[in-house]
Chain A
């Protein structure tokens, strides 16, 4: 009880100290120049601001550090902090900050620069969150993946074609069927999305008038704003049964509603706006002079597009396709609901297959035991997925960067 009431009052106390600091700094600054603020190096407002930051920033940092220690301490086996440590250390840090801000206040003290240094430190702290996130992602997967590979040999993971996890142990966790499913679904998705997206981009940027563009472009962008769970449901209740009833069963290719084709087609729809908007940017970046030159030589519009604009925009288009591939590989909900759960290596697109992301979900939901390879394999899968997408993104970024300014 004491702990909770102290937590509730701690912020109040720290704010109180900050107010004391503000008043102290203000009074001291004014009295140092006998009320004539013109002779101060900084306005009283800057002194007040500096006092606020001097109290709040270190106190908050202290609180965050100690809370973190308390959260993870038991897991690392270190001794717990004695009662009230957080309370008193935060309070002491706040008081030191307060005293420091007040004593520093003088005629010559550049409080504006000092307060801005505090702000800048906060800005820098915020921008390191991105790096911390990346480190967090890599660490979270790396440790558990190493854990996994100490229990399961890596050849068996990377080169086995059998995936049959068994929670009583003795399971085969071959990664190849998942990889095959992932690539097969992505391939079908790209086979739909790349031509449609590219032609849509060409039409919108080269043929369409402003009115057509004003209607069609937002229409395609709506597709981009729809969450993937919606596409997943669409695959599950509409496209899957439709493909089964009109294609798979009449052709004798299978009778499963969830199939590579279902997931691939729906994912293709999802990727259309992605390909089209990035290609649109690339095509629009091709200078008008190149088009004019081509027309002047007597080329038709389509000849200009095929022989001048597409080659010129190719790096951007390649980047778009690579980014779309990375999207397709990492997409989860559509394949969870549309592709099925059976790990299988088959060429028949109307059969249910499974992907890396589906298995990450299935191994990490429900009852999980973080000591067994059946659960830990999800982290190895995640790391592989992360590596794949990272490589694709990096490659896309490189291509786009290298060729971007060619025509400017």
Chain B
């Protein structure tokens, strides 16, 4: 290269090239952040836009006459006798009530009777039956009830079903939607906040409008209790031993390598462990929160141990030395001084571990938690023992709903995800706040 006198103010070719490369590189970095942020935004908007509507539900308010001659033939208002009338006996009452209402409002339609009846959820007959059985004096009179509308009608008011899509749909028709719109205009049908979604149990394939998260939330809660009760003490005790007492030998080295490996074992492997050991070998009950909790405990233990050890390590040795110098034993120095100082870090790690366990799905599929459960599991029962009754869990419920054909369940699945994410956000926020509030730097 020839030596020329160049102005410092004018960039030569090479400098330009280098500066351009610098700018490009900077842009790549920014682009990467952008991709990650975009993915997050896309993910959250997808879930929220698909699922937010599951927190609203369409109800039909009907005045239903309860003829004594069909519901209570012997007129004794006796529970056992009335219970012999199945939901099939109640369905015509609902249809008559809705048709009466439609006629009252002068809505003319060519819709066959059966399709009118289909505007009401299949769950409604059971709701009415339970209501009547609980209030037997109503028989012979008229009762006003708010009943679930069919999933398609519900979808119409949420914008999921349109007149065009209904024309192609065997389960509903544009006429039915027009009637529904007319009924909504006079307030017979309205859409409002859906508490049932959070409290009701799962419902069968035909009735997405009735499906709720009650059993799943309860099951998840039980499992979190099992995880908390087992993983926290065991994790903390193991960490204390490894961090404070373990001699540097092959045994403690083995345990260390073990823990770091366990932290990276795919979660589904824990499911295989649960199936083979807890269910097939120990004979614990399938789909029970106890087995789920045990599996999740084993899975979260490494997380908790790693977090706890970091928290213990962060406590300066001078604290231990001071305690020892005053005559405390090693054990006293740990339990009286080191552990309280490490507590916020341990708590944060535990909450993060619990959050991880709450969202875990794969191992629970293998231990039978995909089963269809409609009864709220009791925490203790004589036949099943502690946390032994079949339950399901929030993330598994999501999986379950994705496997169903009715598009109403896709909405429910996204709604369940929102619920799950809210729980996780709360737990993580608590963890962050705890860390902020109590974090100490030495």
Contacts and interface: CB of A to CB of B under 8 A. Distances in A.
Which of A139, A198, A234 gathers most chain B CB within 10 Å? A234
Interface in A103-157: 112-113, 116, 119-120, 122-131, 133-134, 136-137, 139-141, 143-144
Interface string B265-290: 11111111101110011111000000
Contacts, number: 271
Given A195-B32, A227-B360, A227-B395, A237 B410 contact: yes
A379 to B, nearest CB: 7
Contact of A72 (B24, B257, B282, B298): B282
Contacts of B259: 130
A361 interface: yes
B258 A199 contact: no
Contacts of A301: 22, 25-26
A233 B272 contact: no
A129 B240 CA distance: 14
Given A302-B25, A323-B264, A382-B268, A144 B276 contact: yes
Interface in B237-255: 237-238, 240-242, 245-246, 254-255
B98 to A, nearest CB: 33
A71 B282 CA distance: 6
Contacts of B33: 200, 203-204, 216, 220
B283 to A, nearest CB: 6
B261 A390 contact: yes
Contacts of B234: 126, 129
B417 interface: yes
B30 interface: yes
Contact of A136 (B31, B255, B273, B280): B273
B180 to A, nearest CB: 26
B30 A203 contact: yes
Given A130-B255, A202-B29, A207-B29, A364 B273 contact: no
A331 interface: yes
Interface in A82-107: none
Determine chain A's interface SS by DSSP, over half rule.
helix
A233 B22 contact: no
Contacts of B267: 330, 332
Given A122-B237, A223-B36, A357-B362, A230 B420 contact: yes
Given A120-B331, A122-B237, A127-B242, A229 B281 contact: no
Interface residues of A, number: 95
Contacts of A116: 329-331
B39 interface: yes
A140 B276 contact: yes
Contact of A131 (B24, B254, B402): B254
Contact of B261 (A134, A197, A306): A134
Contacts of B42: 238
Interface string B13-40: 0000011011011101111110111011
Contacts of A203: 26, 29-30, 32-33
B414 interface: yes
Contact of A365 (B241, B302, B370): B370
Contact of A229 (B50, B260, B417): B417
B242 A228 contact: no
A-B pairs, top 8 by smallest CB distance, nearest first, are A330-B266, A227-B359, A203-B29, A140-B276, A199-B32, A126-B237, A302-B25, A332-B362
28 contacts: A72-B282, A113-B329, A123-B240, A123-B241, A126-B238, A127-B246, A130-B258, A130-B259, A133-B258, A141-B272, A197-B32, A203-B29, A207-B29, A207-B30, A223-B39, A226-B424, A229-B417, A230-B47, A230-B359, A237-B46, A237-B413, A238-B50, A302-B21, A302-B24, A303-B22, A332-B362, A333-B399, A382-B272
Interface of A: 4, 68, 71-72, 74-75, 112-113, 116, 119-120, 122-131, 133-134, 136-137, 139-141, 143-144, 195-200, 202-204, 206-207, 216, 219-220, 222-223, 225-234, 236-238, 269, 272-273, 276, 300-303, 305-306, 323, 326-327, 329-333, 336-337, 357, 360-361, 364-365, 370, 378-379, 382, 385-386, 389-390, 393-394, 397
Interface of B: 18-19, 21-22, 24-26, 28-33, 35-37, 39-40, 42-43, 46-47, 50, 233-235, 237-238, 240-242, 245-246, 254-255, 257-262, 264-273, 275-277, 280-284, 298, 301-302, 305, 329-331, 355, 358-362, 365-366, 368, 370, 382, 395, 398-399, 402, 410, 413-414, 417, 420-421, 424, 428
